[in-house]
Amino acid sequence: MKILVVGLGLIGGSICKALKKYTYHNVTGCDINHDIEYAALRDVALDNIFDGNLKGFDLIIISLFPEASEKFFADHAAEIGENTLITDVCGIKGKFSERMKKIANENSLRYLGIHPMAGKEFGGYYNSTADLFVKANFIIAPFDDSTEYDVLLLQELAKEIGAGKIVVTTPENHDKMIAYTSQLAHIVSSAYVKSPELGLECGFSGGSFQDMTRIATMNEKMWTDLFMQNREHLQYELDTLIENLKKYSSALKDGDAEKMKALIAEGRELKEENLRHRVGQPN
């Protein structure tokens, strides 16, 4: 296939590198920063730098932040060839995907979103890597009228770049699940570093502190956009967590060891059950 990747950040750059490492597809890339386009060409992450002609691609993968993805598609949909499938890699689907679909329909184009569940605590092209998607979960979120062919095309692509479990779900269910598995984790991490003890912790921490705070470095522009587009689901998950945390706080306040033991046991059992269902799944 002839593939165009729009935006060579952590995800776009990693897709290009993975495509060049693991497939024979012809990869064209573009980035607002031309130095990065040249860097990607030198890294053999691309076959070509985009020349401005949007015709002739089998697949366009828009790898920009949500707002920029919509703007790019709206601005350029009319220039895209009719046999091209358009996708995006945003961590939000739901209404965002519906707006993207509307642009596609108005221009007689095929669109459906994907979300590779991979990332790093630091973004940008220079942190991208060909193996970012290896064994990572990969979500495809088609619409009722998406064709089986388009879903299969993206499933094959996911397999080619090494994805682990590939899930096909609705844009709405994607958002509901991602609020819990990813967005809530980012909020917790961000809030966790706001203790007065943070500046004093050097030498006092183990792996669990690192795990809790690793993703607090998230980019505020992108994540605000993601959170705000998924407000309802995310607030539900966050308030559920706060309510659960309050139970532990009460047990501490009351000095109720039996209550605390029951709360911890409940969590342990839930996590063990969760692990049993994930056998062979690294993520």
Q: Is 92 in the site for its own copies (CB under 8 A)?
A: no
Token digits for 179?
Answer: 């609020």
Q: Which is nearer to its own copies, 3 or 184 (CB)?
A: 184
Q: Which amino acid is at 136?
A: A
For its own copies, which is the closer residue by CB, 71 or 214? 214
Residue ranges in 100-139 that form contacts with its own copies under rule CB under 8 A: 117-119, 136-137, 139
Any contact of residue 238 with its own copies (CB under 8 A)?
yes
If binding is defined by CB under 8 A, does position 280 make contact with its own copies? no
Does 159 engage in binding with its own copies (CB under 8 A)?
no
Examine residue 27 and tell whether it contacts its own copies (CB under 8 A).
no
d(C-alpha 37, C-alpha 49), whole Å: 6
User: Which is nearer to its own copies, 46 or 140 (by Cβ)?
Assistant: 140
Among 9-17, 27-35, 142-150, 272-280, which window interacts with its own copies (CB under 8 A)? 272-280
**Should residue 206 be labelled a site residue for its own copies when binding is judged by CB under 8 A?**
yes
Choice between 146 and 189, CB closer to its own copies = 189
Smaller CB separation from its own copies, 108 or 210: 210
Footprint on residues 245-264 left by its own copies (CB under 8 A): 245-249, 252-253, 255, 257, 260-264
Q: Total residues contacting its own copies (rule CB under 8 A)?
A: 99
CB of 28 to its own copies, least distance (A): 27
95 belongs to the binding site for its own copies (CB under 8 A): no
Q: For its own copies, which stretch binds (CB under 8 A), given 15-23, 55-63, 71-79, 207-215? A: 207-215
Where residue 183 falls (left for φ over 0; alpha for ψ -120 to 50; beta otherwise) is: alpha
Q: Does 71 bind its own copies (CB under 8 A)?
A: no
Residue 189 CB, nearest approach to its own copies (Å): 7
- For the chain, give the secondary structure using H, E and C: CEEEEECCCHHHHHHHHHHHHHCCCEEEEECCCHHHHHHHHHCCCCCEECCCCCCCCCEEEECCCHHHHHHHHHHHHHHCCCCCEEEECCCCCHHHHHHHHHHHHHCCCEECEEEECCCCCCCCHHHCCCCCCCCCCEEEECCCCCCHHHHHHHHHHHHHCCCCCEEECCHHHHHHHHHHHHHHHHHHHHHHCCCCCHHHCCCCCCHHHHHHHHHHHCCHHHHHHHHHHCHHHHHHHHHHHHHHHHHHHHHHHCCCHHHHHHHHHHHHHHHHHHHHCCCCCCC
CB of 250 to its own copies, least distance (A): 10
270 binds its own copies, rule: CB under 8 A = yes
Tell me: does residue 191 bind its own copies (CB under 8 A).
Answer: yes
